[in-house]
Every structure is written in C-alpha cells, then in structure tokens.
Structure 1
Amino acid sequence: MKSYLGLVPQYEKVHRKNNRISVLCIVLSVLLVTAIFSMADMAIRAQENYFIKTNGEYHISLTGIDEQTVEIIKARVDVAVCGWIYQGCTGSIGQKTVSFAGASEAAFTELSEMNMQDGSYPIRSDEALLNNNALEQMGLSIGDTVSVVVPNGSKKEYHITGILEDMGSLLKADVYGMVLSEDGFRAIADENANDGTTFRVQFKSGVDIQKAVRQIKDSYGLSDNQVSENTALLGLMGQSENSIMQSLYLVATFLVLLVLIAGTVMIAASFNTNVLDRVQFYGLLRCLGASKKQVKHFVILQGLRQSMRGVPIGLITGQIITWCACLLLKSISGDRFSEIPLFQFSIVGLIAGAVVGFLIVLFASLSPAKKAAKVSPVTAISGNTQFIQNKKAANTKLFHVETSMGIFHALSGKKNVFLMTCSFAISIMMFLSFQVMVVFLDQGMPALASSAADVSATMGNVPFTRTVIEEIGRINGVDKVFGRMEQTDLSVSFGSEEGAITLISYDDNQFKWAKDELNEGKIAPVQDNTNNVLVVYRDGMTWGVGDTISIHTSVGDKKVTIAGILATTNARNDAGSNGYMICSEQTFIDIAGDLGYTTVDVQLSKTGNDDTVLAIRNLFPVDSSVSDKRLSNSEAQSSYYTGAIFIYGFLIIIALITVFNIFNSMNASVASRIKQYGIMRSIGMGTNQLYKMIATESLTYAMLGCVVGCILGLPLNKMMFQFLIAEKWGMGWQVPVTSLLLIVLLCFASAAIAIRRPTKQIVKMAIVDTIKLQQ
C-alpha cells in the first residue's frame, strides 16, 4: 500500500454491508433522474413523431410572398426542405364535398401531413390521389376516372393514380380528399386558395429557428401575420415562442430542478449519516498521523468509489424502466402507439443520470468530508462519536422517557434533521408538482371526454326531428344517441351590460357528463327544467353563479339564473359575444321554440363498425354532414395515453423512490446510533421501550417532513395550477386531497415499516456486542 488512500478499498471490503446503503442511495438517485429524463425524452420523441404524422414535418409556414422571395429562401444555407402546399379550394363529387390539395411530390412527402397509401404521385394536371374512404364509398380503384365539379362550377375528369391515406380531419369533416400536382391545383384554384395556401419551410438540424425567423421577417419585410410556426413540433423541440409552450418550458425547468435536488438530498443524507457512523474510525486515522486534508480526501474517494458501483446500476435500471413503459404502450395498441420508440437509449436520460451519480456525489461528499476532518485523535481513544456535545437533556415532563428520548435524538443534530426532513418534504413536493400535469393532460384532451361522439351529424337546410334519436338507437352497434338544439345571436342583458349568447340544449346524458366539466355551481337545478342555466367560461367573463340574466326573445323577456359554470362545451355554432349558455330541452323550447336538433351525436358500442356508420348515414338527408370521428378520436387517445403512461410513470417512480429513500434513511439513522442504543439497553431499557424510542424518532422525522412538504408543496401545486390550467380553462384550484393523503400516508407507512428490521437486529444482538460494534 503506497498511500493512505489505499485503505479505502480495504475498509470497504471489511464493511461491505454498511456501504450498501450509500450505494443503494446512489442507485436510487440515478434511477430516479435517469428514468424521469428518459421517459420524458421518449414521450417527446413519440409526440414529435405523432405531430409530424398529423401536422407535417415543417417548422414555419409563410403566406403572401412572391416567387422572388421564395427563391431566396430556398437558397438559404439553414433551410433543409421547403415548398408550396396548396389548400383552400373545394368542389364536389356527386352530393359529397371534396377538399382539394396540391403540392410537389417532395413537398407532399416531407412537409405535409398527408400520406400516400398506394399507387404513384400525380404528375399531370388531370391526375389525382383520392382518399381511401372516398374510393370505398364510390367503388373506385387506382386507374379509374372520376368526374369532379371544380371550384368554378365546371366538371373535370381526373385519372386516379394513387390512394390518399384517410386522415381524421377528413372523416371528421365528412368530406373527400383529393391531392393534385402543383399545375393541377393552380389550374382550378379560386380566391379561397389564397387563404389556404402556404409556403412551408423545414430548417436543418441544430438551427436556432426563432433567430432564423426573425432574420426572414426583417430581410423580406414580412409581418407577424405572414409567418406562422408549427407550434406543436417547435414546442417539443424547445424552440417555440408560443405563450402556452413558454409556460410549459418554465414548469418543465422547475420540475427538472426539483428532481435534481431530490437526488442530491438523498445522496447527501446517506453520506452525512455514514460520516456520523464512522467518527471513531476517522479519529483513529488522525491518531496514525493523517492530516485533516488527508481525511477529507479519504471521504471523497469513498464517495466516488461508491458512485462507480451505483451509477451503472442506476443507469441500466432507469433505462429498463423506460423500455417497460414503452412496451406497455405497445401492448395496449400497436397501431395506436406506432410512434413509440422501442429499446432505444435516451442520451439525455443517461447523461442526466451520470451527472447526478458523479458530480452530485462529489458535491454531496464535500460537507461530510469537512465534518470528518474535524474529528480529533482524542475521539478515537474516548469512543465518543458525537461531534457536538448536547448542552440540554431530553425533556421528560411531557412524555414518557423513551418518547422524549426519541424526539431528542431526532432533533439533536441540526444537519441530520434538516436532511431527513428534506428527504420527506421533497418527495411530497415532487408528487404534488407532477399531479398538476395529470390535471393538465386530462383537461387538454376533449376527445377523451365521456361525451365524445364516434359519429356526429349536423343539419343541412332542415333541422333534425327528435324522432331520429329513436331510429338511430335501434341500429345494431349503437350505444348512446343524444342531440342538441342551438340558437345563435340571442340578445341578453345583465345590469347595464348588453350582448348576445348562443343557447344550447342538453339531455340527461349530456348533463351527467357535464359534471366532469363543472368549474363552479350545480347542474341539478338546470336539469330540473327550471329557469336555471349553465354558462361556459370565457376570458373576461363578469357573470357568476347566482346572477340573473335577461334573454330577449320575440315573445318577451325571459329571466334565467346562472346555476353553474362549465369549462367547455361541444357546439356546432360559434359563441355569441357573451359566450355559450346551456339549458334543458324544455327550457330551450320555452325560450327559442322547438327548432329541432342542430347536431346529433352517436357513441358506438364495441360491435359498432363501418356498417353501423353507413346505416346511420343513410338516415340523414343528403345535404346533412355525417362526421366519422373514430379515427380522430383514436389519434387523440394515442396522444393522451402516451402522455398519461409517462406522467403516471413519473408519479409511480417518485412514490417508489420515496419509499426506498425513507427505508434507507431510517436504516442509516438507526445504524449510526447503534452504540447509544446498546448503552441504553445495558442500563435497563426494555425491548418495547427501545422500539418506542426509535419509532418516535422516525415519526418525528416523518411529521416534520410532511409538514414542510405540505407547506411548500401546496402553494407550489396551486401556483402551477394557476399557471397552466386556471388561466386557460377557468377552473378553480382545489386542494388535491386524494393525492396529498396518498403521499402523506405513504411517507408515514414507509417510516413505520422501515424501523422494524434494524430494531429487530439490535434486539437480537448481545448488549456487549452492540456497545463494542465498530462501523
């Protein structure tokens, strides 16, 4: 052995069991950081692939630019692909509306959300792709010719060269889709093409897109209205200036810092306890001639050696957890989650985990190293393992001796109680912070609402009679049918405020589902056909629950009382200046008359299929629009479940880490005082008293941690809720009672269970062995 540092591996061989706690803490910290960062990385990749598939892989779109500007932009060194996407024109095939699109093959493939399912791309102006649903309904195939009424009213024959893959937007709008070549589209374009046509730009990897956008605007004199970003894609790339995305960036940054702090505290708590546990050994080093600096180096080297063992295990385990989450999504539906990457390594997660494992271990060991260096040689001889002599004894007036001693032990070391409290508190703060993301996810996915329809029919020139509900209900494969009557531009007044509303009727099913969207008030009074209504939240709304609104109709004024406020509603027509107002069907008839249904929504059962949709379609007049929302709902569900798996995965990981961290912390805390417990047993303390003392110490840590965690976590939860949800949907913050109770009970249960094993070990040991035990 050439150096005193050579004692480190020898010491670790002798005390392997005692080092396992520190190594396990490093593993858990690295696991926490790696898993969360890797899962977030995989979720972003999956969502990025999804938005590329549904929106197109372009970064910005430009409108109102001339060909000279186009050529200059094409020549920019930071541009990878660019091209025109022509849209906005509509025509008809028979009674069905057809939406035209046009692009070069390169722009169609790289920049659009459209995909060719089969065949070849149109080259001549009389060639076209037609979507699969249209081909099936008309009995056509590749090579056939179809007659289309183009925007100017004339008929044109198109040769079908390929099949356009069905998109949720086409089925939802109940229109056919036809893709033409650039020349083919320009030949039929009318004035509507100016609004729908854009020049899309995809920048090269690594480009500062916002800087490039500013340069394009300044160089070519473009206004903000002429430049639009692909918000979803840029947001996931971290390059969006959209206000909502900026809010998410701030929240994500904060959550990242919270996770890193949690890892640091976990490791620091373990190292601090280890140093307390080995005070006598460091004193012996000083007796043998080691300087304070050498003892400090000894402790730091111990930490780094432990991280060399713990970090790889944590990285591998974290990556395996991420793969399991991805596999779980694939097992739910391989088609729906086709964009989820499988068995791919997350560089971001691995780097984050390695940084935590090495750098934070280094930083976390500095303070314990300084503490170890303060140990005097006298300590080794005296066997005193306390750095600071307690000037006050335990207060036994309020509690029994063992209870008082437990509280006294917990509070005697300021740094130790600080780190133990932080271990509990940060777990609670992380859990409450990620809980807000669950609410954000649920609120941002209306297609997943219980009221979401699989098929929706909207009226043409004549409203639907109420008998159509019964007819649809008798079709095989139909689960629920519900309709809405709507009346726009109803004049209303509230005090001196005048405006207009769109009135909507709900049936019993819709009122039941509306409870999920209720921000404030009650729904039952509205459902009972009284003069009560619901209103939908909007920015700047001055109305509140209990206010009375006057509705001006042709037969006189009707006074209604606001019974509740909803976050959102489904409606065909636009809102009035004062938004939407919802009432029962009878109240609607009393106010606006029996106008018939504007919209009829249908939810299919498990046996519902294309034949069911066709049967529903045949019940409505040809001028009605029957929207098949199954594909768009499936796409939305795919996006939702991707986010849900990862967000709930974060919560599960945090909960598990909380349990393991508390177990390790309590084990280490008990182990550091094992000599004291032996002395207490030698002077007559019984087994039950010893257990009560250790249990009280554990309970004290848990209570302090939970109190601090709630004091800091609840305002944090509220702030994030207001930041992400309240301002957008008008929802009022409520204490997340269920989540709070879950994490607090988890902390107390973990603390109670954690002390059982070390307590039993102490009781089984002979008193003399306990006192002599050296760590």
Structure 2
Amino acid sequence: MKRQKSMIRILTNRSFKANKTRNLVAIFAIVLTTVMFTSLFVLSQSMVENLRNMNFQQAGYNSHLSSGIMTDADVEKITTHEAVRDFGKSIVVGIAENKELTGRQVEIRYADENYARSSFSYPTEGTMPVQENEIALDTITLDKMGLPYELGQKITLQWRKDLNGEEITTSIFTLSGYWNGNSAAMASMAWVSEAFVQSQCAGIDQVEQLANGQVLGTVMLHIDLYSDSNLEGAAEQILADTGLSNVSLSPNAAYDSTMNQNINREVLPMAICMVLVFASGYLIIYNIFQISVASDIRFYGRLKTLGTTKRQLKKMIYGQANRLSLIGIPIGLVIGYLLGAVLVPVMITGTTGEAKTAVNPYIFIGSALFAYLTVLISCMKPAKIAGKVSPMEALRYTDTGTNSKRKTKKSTGGASIPKMALANLGRNKKRTITVICSLTLGLVLLSCVYAKNASFDIDKYMSQTVISDFEVEDSSISSTFGTYNPYGTTISPELVQNIEGLSGLEATGRLYSQVFTHKIGASALENIQTYYNADDRLTYIEATDAGLAEAYHDMIDSGECTSILYGIDGLILDTFAQDGRMLDGTFDKGKFLSGGYVVMEAATGAEDSGKETQPTYSVGDTVELNGQQYEVMAIVADIPTITEGVNSSTQDFLSFYLPADTFRAMYPDNTLRKLFFDVVEEYQPQAEEMLIQYQQDVDKSLNYTAKSTLIEHYQEQTRANTVMGFAISLIIAFVGILNFVNSMVTAIVSRQKEFAMIQSIGMTKRQLRRMLIDEGLYYAGSTLLAAYVLGTVAVAVGVRMMVAGDWTATFHFTLLPLGICTPILIAFAIVIPYICFKNLEKQSIVERLRATD
C-alpha cells in the first residue's frame, strides 16, 4: 500500500512538472480568485467595523447602557448588580457658556478612565486632569476657542453653578491633554479633575440638586453587561431589582437591531460579489482542469491499463490541484489584502473619521477556505472524467466532451468553412457553454453597474439639498440643546456687508423666523385631522413618538398650536416658483411681495406629496397673523435647506411664509436666521475664502455650506458605490476572455494532427485560418447575442427596480458598455485564432502527422 501511495505521488509530481504552461495559467487563476475573495473579505469586514464604530461615535459612547443623572447611593446599587460586568463614572459640573462655543455643547465633567474611554474622549496627547486646575479638551473645543493644540496653555471657561441663575462662574485651567474631537457626537467633553469637582461641590446635597432640576455634583454612568442582547429588558430588570424608579438607564442605540440590519444591508453587495467571484473562479479553474484532463486522457487510459484505480486517478488530479493551491492561495492572500487596504478609504466613505482597514485572522482563513473550496469544486468534474475513462475510450477520445453515439448529419449543400467551424464548437458543448457564460456574465454585470451609475442624478440631488451656491446660518440653529435664538449675532451686519461686496455676486436671499402660538382656523384643523388619520399616521406616531402624539392631541383639544413664521425674499422666492414646488395654488411673486398674501408649507416634500390633503390651511383661506389678515396664496412643498435646524422646544405644526419686509415690520428686533447667495462660478473660490477668513478671524461659531463641497461629497459617495461594481465586473469579464483564450489555444493545439490530416487532403492554409477565425467569431457572436438579450432584461427590469426607491436617481436605459465591448470582443475573436494559427504553421504537415501522444 505504501509503495502504491509512493508511486501515485511520483506520477503526480511528474505530471505536475510536465504541464508547466497549464500550471502557470492555473496558478494565475487561483491567485486571481483568491485576490478577489480576500479583497471582498477585507472590504466587508472593514465596512462592518467602520459602520459599527460610526454608530458608536454618533451615540457618543460604546458601552451597553448609559444613565441619567443620579446620586452616589444610586450608583452603588446599580454597579453592584449581578448583571453589571463593568462601568465608568462621571460627575457633572456644568455647561461651558463661552461665546466662542455657541453652537457646540461643551459639558464640564470629571470622568474616570473607563468613562472617558467609552466616550471616545480619552486624551491621545497628554493626560487626564489630576491637579485641581487641570483640564482636558477635544480639538473641536480648542478650534472653536481659536486655541492651538499645545499642552500647558491657559483655558478660561464660563459656566453656571445654578442653571436657572444669573451668576456666571469663570474658571481658569491648564490644558493637561487633548484628543481628536468627535463631530458626530451631540456634545464635547471638558474633563476636569476630581479635586476641582470636590472644591466646587462642597456642601451640595445630590438629592436636593435632582429635585431642583440642577446637575452640579450629580453622577452619570456608562455600563457594560455580560451580553448585548435585549438591553432594554436588562435595563428594566436592573431598575426593578434595585428599586430605582427615578433613575433612567438607556440602551445604546448602536446595538439596536435596526442598526445591525443597516450594516447587513451595506454588506449585502459584498456577499453578492462573493457569489459572482465564486462563479467566475469556478468557470476558469474548471475549464483549465477540464482541458488538462482532455489533453492527458490517453495518459490516464494507459494508467488504467496498468491497473491504476479510479480513486488513484482522482487523487492525482486533486494532488495537482492541492499543489497549485499551495502556491497560488498565499500569493493571492497577500495581494488581496494589500488591494483591500487600498480600496477601503475609497469604498467606505461617510463614516466618522478616517476609515480603518480591518486586521483579522478570519479574513485570511475565510478567503483561503473559499478559494480552496472553489478549486476543489472546479476539479470534481474533470477528476470524475479521468477516473471513469477506460483504456479503449481513451484511445478513441476526440475531445467531443461526450461518449454518446451521434447521428451522422447529411447535407445536400456540401461542406463549407462556416459550417465546419460551427460543428467544431458543438464537439465540446460544455466547454463552449462555459466560455460563453463566463464572457456573458462579465458583460451583463458591467452593463448593470454602468446603468446604475448613469442613474445617479446630481441635479436632482442638489435641487433637494441646496437652493444657492452658499448659505450661512446663525450658530444657534445647530445647537444640540436649547432653542434657536431669533436675536442671534452670527450673521452680523459686517458679514452681510462682506457678502454684498463680493465680486461676481448674482443674488441673495434672506430668511428670518419666529416661533409663536397660533389659534387654528376651522379649515386647517379639519385638514390636520384628515391628514393624520389617513394611512394610520396617527397610530404610527402614537407607537413611536410619545412627545409628538401628546402635542397633537393637545393641539386638537385646545385648537392652538406652536407655529413658525418665516420671512423670505430674493432667491428663496425664485425657488418657490420652480416646477413641482407648489403642491396647490399658484405662486405669483409680484402679488406675494405686495402684501396681503401668505404661503403655507406642506408636511412633505414634492416627491412624496401626491394629491393628498396637507395638514395646513387650504388655498383661499384667510389667516390672521399678528392682528393682520392674509389670504393663503399657495401651499409649497417642504424645502429642507430652508426649514432645517432647531426652532423651539415644542412641536411646531404650522409653518407660514411672508415677505421679509412684512416680517421685519412685525418683528423688527429679529436677526437673520440664514442668508443664501449665488456667486459667478469663477469667483466662488474667493467667496469661500472670505467665509473661511471671517470664521477664523471674527466668529468661529459661523456655520456655512458651499454647494461645491456638497457636489464633491455626492460624487465621493457615488464613486464608492461604483468602484467595486466596475472592478468585479471587469475582473469577471477578464476571466471570461482568459477562458476564451485558453479554450481556443487548447482546442487548436489538441487538434494539430486533425488539422494536418484535413490539410493533407486539400484544405488550404487560408481555409484553415478562416475556419479557426470563424470559430472565434461564433464564440463572440453567441456571447454578444446572450449579453444583449440578458443585458437588456437585467438593465430594463433589474436596474430600474434598484433605483426606483432612490430619490437621487433617475433611470436611464443604456447598453453603452456592450456597445464599447462589441468591437473589442470581435477583435479578440479574430486575433487570438490568427496568432494560434501562426504558431501552428511553424510545424510542417508531415511533422504534425508524425507527432505521437
């Protein structure tokens, strides 16, 4: 038995060494397959880790639970509960109220190491505060204050011990550490030392502080449990066991099942790509081994004559596959990981901070297993063919791919070169189908990716995102606590003067706003109830948003609601006049500016509104605002760039638009909420430079949006969605071409004696060359026919369905990639057989006839 095994091993070695060209092609195919698998594993694993980290960053911490403010006694009860694995503790001091920090909540607190780390707020430079006068800040806070990233500098913060009092406390600290700020979090942390907390909280009663709605001296926790399943239930159980009914424990939203579903949805394309990689890898590796077995079939027949068993022949095939895998897979793993690391920053965009490449042994284990599995499955059929062949069948083997008897076809038209070429393709139908499927798969996928990319509509996206080249806003709009300040000073007269003095300024638009309580008219009240009772909207709100549901019922009962009045002019009015903006009525800019008219805002955007009743006044109704009567001219769709930002601490149900001058007469002390302006394209860089300079030198709380930046961001997002699709489809198309080349070369080489025989009875070189080229053209024609038919269906049905729910997309039917690839494929179909024929010609007919197997 050992001798037999040794002999099989020797035969495997010699067969392996005798097929150097086959080995190189097979190794290349295995490397290519492994590279694709590894790159996809790196991308998918990196995407999961980066998206999960982004969710944690947005939540502001990565622990399982976070608490509201509580006393030290409450902390003791919770942290000793059996379900708690670990925790971090923070003591609240107050909120920094420096003018430079307007628009960014900066919480002054003490934190232990666990709490600081779980909050992504642990110093990367310097240390946590130890001395009483030390403080650690993030870079966002330092930037807002216009301070350099230098340890040891003095930091002055203003805050209130009593949140409802007038007294401001000024504290001067020394910077002991800092870290990169988390822009996704709702607030920045300013860590102070425990000694500072003790000095400020001396004599404070925590229970009394909580009863009075104060925060100084109260404690908050980040809690880790032994499992992240059913966090809400675990939080309720902890509170029930400890009897703390006045303490809140909130599960981290990043662990919510919806978040995991979103991550799975993002990774799904990678899984689809892996299936395609497996298919393409199988097609090429199967084809290589199938051709190799066909070429060596007489050799396997002789081995059968000498007593070699079917099992031993299969072992020889798999032994060669194992050696090829041992060479190709490690190379593919290295190249694939490096390629994946390069693609991660390109593919993973929109996350908080720089995308990080996953480093995980499972990436290499999974990629190697998938690649090896592809090789083994690809070898199964060729190994079965080699094992089943009998000595007599091997001698009669003609590369037809079948042992069944075929009927002789009779033709009255005689033989012709095209007919012979077509008949040759039918000799091994499986190989022909394999090549055609491989080529078609790449072409169809390429067409789908291109059609989906062509559907991205930047004009549609920008029309819903911005209404001008630039917009500046009052910093209190983006405040994460409190409400919008209608008397804010961010958009100062100086800034307005700078904007109005810009070269190339084309138009401006002013936006003011004021929250007020409105007595609802009968028409509007009826429309509101109709809207919320339709499509189970009210039922959904009651189940998902208790605050909104309560505000709705209070409004219906009282007949009053919190509303917002906007004052507008300039290019905002031009936006109203655009097609599709008006859901009811007609907007007349001249009449609107003359006074006496108001425009109402709908609850939905233009894309979602349809013809349903909107929860507001109807066109033609009379509305009383500030003692004046106004007629409703029209109802405009919600335009997010105008309405976004905080307004009041309560829900606002009705929104009114009046001319800016009319608004200013009502509320003369109100300042600008937003200022929109358009600039000639060539002067836009200077305009943005002015805003940056003003932000740095005058008011660091200024927020501005540039249309050009949003366009770049959109292009970055769409590019990330496109790169992988194009890469995979091009690789699969390349695999198809490699299959085609391999099949043509092998088919020609294996038929050298056959060609010599037909040449010896009269076929000319020109006719033989024409026959081989016709074979290639039949391959190309069959592939293109299948690709055009399947591509048309895939694009017209599949891609249309994919983009139907995307509000930034407009479907365009196109088969441009197929049109481009058609002449390329035809050229390959002509050139490759021609080159093979030229190599064949190097041997004479006599030499080919004398060739022995």
TM-score, shorter chain, exceeding 0.5 = yes
Offset at 1:574? Answer: 5.7
Distance change in 2, residues 1:427/1:641 (3 Å) = same
Q: Are 2:372 and 1:358 equivalent residues in the alignment? A: yes
Q: Retained in 2: the 8 A contact 1:503–1:583? A: yes
Q: Distance in 1 between matches of 2:456 and 2:181?
A: 24
Q: Distance in 2 between matches of 1:164 and 1:475?
A: 41
Partner of 2:261: 246
Q: Distance in 1 between matches of 2:660 and 2:423?
A: 66
Distance change in 2, residues 1:401/1:261 (3 Å) = same
Distance change in 2, residues 1:379/1:129 (3 Å) = closer
Distance change in 2, residues 1:115/1:480 (3 Å) = farther
Partner of 1:381: 395
- TM-score with structure 1 setting the length: 0.72
Moved more, 652-661 or 93-102: 93-102
Where 2:97 maps in the other structure, the secondary structure is strand
Offset at 1:508? Answer: 4.6
Moved more, 156-165 or 499-508: 499-508
Where 1:413 maps in the other structure, the secondary structure is helix
Where 2:694 maps in the other structure, the secondary structure is helix
Distance change in 2, residues 1:96/1:51 (3 Å) = closer
Partner of 2:695: 613
Letter in 1 for 2:441: A
Q: Distance in 1 between matches of 2:729 and 2:159?
A: 60
Partner of 1:106: 113
Letter in 2 for 1:282: I
Distance change in 2, residues 1:274/1:113 (3 Å) = closer
RMSD of Structure 2 on Structure 1 (CA): 6.1
Q: Which of 1 and 2 has greater Rg?
A: 2
Q: Distance in 2 between matches of 1:445 and 1:105?
A: 45
Matching residue within 119, 128, 142 for 1:132: 142
Matching residue within 29, 32, 49 for 2:33: 29
Offset at 1:116? Answer: 4.8
Offset at 1:30? Answer: 0.8
Partner of 2:674: 599
Offset at 1:355? Answer: 1.2
Q: Are 2:329 and 1:304 equivalent residues in the alignment? A: no
Letter in 2 for 1:700: S
Q: Are 2:262 and 1:266 equivalent residues in the alignment? A: no
Q: Retained in 1: the 8 A contact 2:455–2:811? A: no
Q: Retained in 1: the 8 A contact 2:87–2:224? A: yes
Distance change in 2, residues 1:476/1:402 (3 Å) = same
Q: Distance in 2 between matches of 1:395 and 1:734?
A: 54
Q: Retained in 1: the 8 A contact 2:95–2:108? A: no
Q: Structure 1 stretches of 5 or more lacking a match? A: 235-239, 619-625
Matching residue within 157, 162, 165 for 2:175: 162
CA offsets, 1:279-314, max 9 Å, x none?
Answer: 252244224323333333332223222222221221
Q: Distance in 2 between matches of 1:9 and 1:84?
A: 66
Q: Retained in 1: the 8 A contact 2:94–2:109? A: no
Matching residue within 483, 502, 511 for 1:484: 511
Q: Are 2:441 and 1:421 equivalent residues in the alignment? A: no
Q: Retained in 2: the 8 A contact 1:466–1:597? A: no
Moved more, 114-123 or 388-397: 388-397
Distance change in 2, residues 1:166/1:305 (3 Å) = closer
Q: Distance in 2 between matches of 1:63 and 1:444?
A: 39
- TM-score with structure 2 setting the length: 0.67
Distance change in 2, residues 1:164/1:440 (3 Å) = farther
Q: Distance in 1 between matches of 2:827 and 2:739?
A: 12
Where 1:82 maps in the other structure, the secondary structure is strand
Where 1:761 maps in the other structure, the secondary structure is helix
Q: Retained in 1: the 8 A contact 2:124–2:178? A: yes
Q: Retained in 2: the 8 A contact 1:310–1:357? A: no
Q: Are 2:306 and 1:294 equivalent residues in the alignment? A: no
Q: Distance in 2 between matches of 1:519 and 1:772?
A: 81
Q: Distance in 1 between matches of 2:234 and 2:514?
A: 48
Distance change in 2, residues 1:384/1:505 (3 Å) = farther
Distance change in 2, residues 1:284/1:149 (3 Å) = closer
Q: Are 2:610 and 1:543 equivalent residues in the alignment? A: yes
Q: Structure 2 stretches of 5 or more lacking a match? A: 476-483, 533-562, 593-598, 678-683
Q: Retained in 1: the 8 A contact 2:57–2:182? A: no
Q: Distance in 1 between matches of 2:144 and 2:565?
A: 34
Partner of 1:83: 88
Q: Distance in 2 between matches of 1:411 and 1:486?
A: 79
Q: Distance in 1 between matches of 2:675 and 2:640?
A: 21
Distance change in 2, residues 1:410/1:13 (3 Å) = same
Distance change in 2, residues 1:721/1:143 (3 Å) = same
Offset at 1:715? Answer: 5.5
Partner of 2:554: none
CA offsets, 1:628-681, max 9 Å, x none?
Answer: 4699x99x9999999778655523531441242122111122234325698577
Q: Distance in 1 between matches of 2:89 and 2:298?
A: 77
Q: Retained in 2: the 8 A contact 1:450–1:513? A: no
Distance change in 2, residues 1:118/1:341 (3 Å) = closer
Letter in 2 for 1:382: R
Matching of residues 118-129 of structure 1 within 5 Å = 121-122=128-129
Distance change in 2, residues 1:396/1:510 (3 Å) = farther
Matching of residues 142-291 of structure 1 within 5 Å = 142-143=153-154, 148-150=159-161, 151=163, 152-162=165-175, 178-180=190-192, 183=197, 191=213, 193=215, 198-202=220-224, 208-210=227-229, 214-221=233-240, 226-231=248-253, 234=254, 240-250=255-265, 252-253=267-268, 255-272=270-287, 274-276=289-291, 278-279=293-294, 281-289=296-304, 290-291=308-309
Letter in 1 for 2:110: A
Distance change in 2, residues 1:249/1:484 (3 Å) = same
Partner of 1:621: none
Letter in 2 for 1:571: E
Q: Distance in 1 between matches of 2:412 and 2:118?
A: 76
Offset at 1:753? Answer: 5.0
CA offsets, 1:171-214, max 9 Å, x none?
Answer: 999x99754457468668862759x98522346xxx64225664
Matching residue within 496, 499, 504 for 1:472: 499
Moved more, 537-546 or 344-353: 537-546
Q: Distance in 2 between matches of 1:444 and 1:221?
A: 49
Partner of 2:546: none
Q: Retained in 2: the 8 A contact 1:519–1:567? A: no
Q: Retained in 2: the 8 A contact 1:147–1:158? A: yes
Q: Retained in 2: the 8 A contact 1:118–1:164? A: yes
Offset at 1:249? Answer: 0.9
Where 2:695 maps in the other structure, the secondary structure is helix
Offset at 1:616? Answer: 6.0
Letter in 2 for 1:92: E
Q: Distance in 2 between matches of 1:32 and 1:736?
A: 30
Seq. identity, %:
12
Distance change in 2, residues 1:649/1:8 (3 Å) = farther
Matching of residues 258-657 of structure 1 within 5 Å = 258-272=273-287, 274-276=289-291, 278-279=293-294, 281-289=296-304, 290-325=308-343, 339-341=354-356, 345-388=359-402, 402=418, 405-406=421-422, 409=425, 413-414=429-430, 417=433, 420-421=436-437, 424-425=440-441, 428-429=444-445, 432=448, 456-457=473-474, 460-462=485-487, 469-474=496-501, 483-486=510-513, 497=530, 508=571, 537=604, 542-544=609-611, 550=619, 552=621, 553-554=623-624, 555-560=629-634, 571-573=644-646, 597-600=672-675, 605=686, 607-608=689-690, 611-613=693-695, 617=699, 626-628=701-703, 647-657=721-731
CA offsets, 1:343-390, max 9 Å, x none?
Answer: x85534322321122122112211232233343433432341113355
Offset at 1:694? Answer: 0.9
Where 2:400 maps in the other structure, the secondary structure is coil
Where 1:3 maps in the other structure, the secondary structure is helix
Q: Retained in 2: the 8 A contact 1:85–1:103? A: yes
